Amino acid sequence: MTDIERLLARHGTYGGHGIDHEDRPFHGALTIEPLPGGRGVSLRFRSVGIDGEDYRQEWTWVAPDVVRGVAAWQIDQRSRSVRHMRQRSGPSAEGADTTLMFGIGSPEDVDQHRVQVAFDLWPDGAVTVRHAAGSPGSPLTQRGGVRMVRTGDLD
């Protein structure tokens, strides 16, 4: 099964509670659905604080890259442009069936800005979204994450 097929097999809606990079609790909601023709996957993620504040909204498309392999294109409410992130290899999160990881910049290169998003697919059907970032002069660090369970199907 390809990585895109693994994501497509999880199509539906998900919800759960997480903690962001400022140690604020939030409710996360994720919708996974196929792109036209099933050639890729759309993932819409939103996190809302317990006080109702909208922390994050992002849209990610995972699809074959014309250059090589699979890539992700992502934009959020604070972005001025779409980020094109290459798929990264590495171990899955402990206990996960699969971890799909995408990023910009070498994780170890502290001279540049780095961004990373990971999607952990769990044996019980849950999905985790994890974010990491690193500014020049600082290491790549986790910026929050949330494990979500399936809450509904999409027609």
- Give how many domains the chain has, as a whole number: 1
Q: Are 117 and 84 in contact (CB under 8 A)?
A: no
29-33, 81-85, 87-91, 151-155: range with highest mean pLDDT: 29-33
pLDDT reported for residue 151: 94
Identify whether 16 is part of a domain: yes
Asked whether residue 136 carries a pLDDT value surpassing 80, the answer given is yes
Q: Which domain holds residue 36?
A: 3-146
Identify whether 71 is part of a domain: yes
pLDDT reported for residue 155: 65
Asked whether residue 109 carries a pLDDT value surpassing 90, the answer given is no
Query: Cα(41)–Cα(4) distance, rounded to whole angstroms?
Result: 7
Identify whether 155 is part of a domain: no
Return the CATH number at 21.
2.40.128.20
Identify whether 153 is part of a domain: no
Distances (CA, A) of 122 to 43, 100, 125: 16, 12, 5
Share of the chain above pLDDT 90, in %: 59
pLDDT-derived band at 130 (thresholds 50, 70, 90) equals very high
List CB contacts of 101: < 8 A, sequence separation 6 or more. 87, 88, 89, 90, 116, 117, 118, 119
Identify whether 35 is part of a domain: yes
Instruction: Give pTM, 2 decimals.
Output: 0.90
Mean pLDDT of 123-142: 88
pLDDT reported for residue 25: 93
